[in-house]
Each structure stands twice: as structure tokens, then as C-alpha cells.
Amino acid sequence: MNINKAIRKQNKLYKGFLQSMSFIFLILPIVMFLSKRYSIFFIVYLLIIEVLIITAIIIRASHERLKFEASADRIKIKSGLFAEEYSINTDKVAIIHTEGSGEKLEIIIITTSRFRNNKIKRISSDFLKKYTYVAFHYYRIKKQQPEVEYYYFIITKGGYYKYNLIDLFYKSCLRAYFTENAINTLKEYRH
């Protein structure tokens, strides 16, 4: 799969979605004005449809947004429209795992520090039950350093941009353990 081609297609589909929603958003009041139907029912109905269109645009924009940048020893990630922001010390990343593929790819990052971010959660039994493959590697690392607390966060937004992010993690996080799924995702990205 050519990820750059998939990213261009994703951007093209997103722009098409925005254009069509903007067209519908603008054309509905014009049609109402030209038809000269000004009853309360039509006005309320139009307002509800306009609010639903704006909501759909916001949800889609939030799903598409993923920005990241790397400095000497940190990676800053902004995921979603309302910016779930993570600033990660690359030396503190312990495990990187991926689930799924394509636009539905999830990047699971396990770290040894919370980085003063409340969105990074402590590893719980529910998390380990849900991601059994990650649990296997977690227990293996936990045996080597039982006193260390581990935390996790999951990146689900951004579509195909997540492939670029996993490549950046591979280049920057030299001490991190990449699971077999993460390595396969990298191979898919680089071919």
C-alpha cells in the first residue's frame, strides 16, 4: 500500500466532504428564501438541519486532525480538533503497538512517565484484558523492572497520518520495544 497516495486520497475526500456540506449549508436557506415558505415549522426544521451539518463537519474535522513534531528528545502530538495534546520524552517510551490497519489503525504507546498529562492513564486490568498482545509484552517488561509504574495512551485519530507518526516513533524512540504488529505496520508504510 502506498501510504502517501492514501494520504492524498484522504485529503481529497475530506475536502470533498467539506465542499458538499458547505454547499448544502448555504443552499438550504436560499431555497427557503426563494420558495417564500416562512412558517415556524420550516424555520425550526432548517435550523435543526443546519446544526446537524455543523456538527457533522466538526466531528469529521476532529477525526481527521493529527499533528506531530519532533525535537531533540521529545515528540509533541496533537490529536483531534479539540487538541488532545501529548508531549512525550522519547527515552520514557517503553512499548509501541499497533492494532488494525488503514484508517482504523490505533497506536498504543506505553510509557514509564505520565508527563504531567491527565489523558495518559495508568495501565489497568481492563486495558490488559482488552489488549492481550500488549499485556504479554507488558508483563515481560514488568518482570525486568517491577518497581516502575507504566502508563498508556492510544492514538485513534488522524487516518493515514498515523503511519507517518509510527515511522517517527521508530526513528526517535531508540529504547522502545516495537511489537510485531508495529513492525509490520512500519513495513507496510515503507513499501
Round to whole Å and give the CA distance between 96 and 90.
11
- Across-strand partners of 122? 151
Identify the helix (H) or strand (E) that includes residue 25: helix 3-35
- Model-level pTM? 0.84
| CB-count burial class (<10 Å; 0-12, 13-18, 19+) for 161 | buried
Examine the domain organization and report whether 54 and 98 are in the same domain: no
Q: How many domains does the chain have?
A: 2
Examine the domain organization and report whether 96 and 180 are in the same domain: yes
pLDDT attached to residue 50: 95
Round to whole Å and give the CA distance between 10 and 24.
21
The owner of cell 487538541 is: 83
Q: Which domain holds residue 26?
A: 3-64
pLDDT attached to residue 59: 93
Asked if residue 145 lies in contact with residue 190, where contact means CB atoms within 8 angstroms, the answer is no
Amino acid at 186: L
Examine the domain organization and report whether 71 and 56 are in the same domain: no
pLDDT attached to residue 100: 87
Rounded average pLDDT per 10-residue block, the chain, 191 residues: 84 94 93 86 92 95 90 87 81 90 89 79 89 89 88 90 90 89 86 76
Examine the domain organization and report whether 48 and 80 are in the same domain: no
The domain boundary, picked from 64, 89, 104, lies at 64
- Report in angstroms the alpha-carbon separations of 43 from 21, 55, 57: 19, 18, 21
Examine the domain organization and report whether 31 and 101 are in the same domain: no
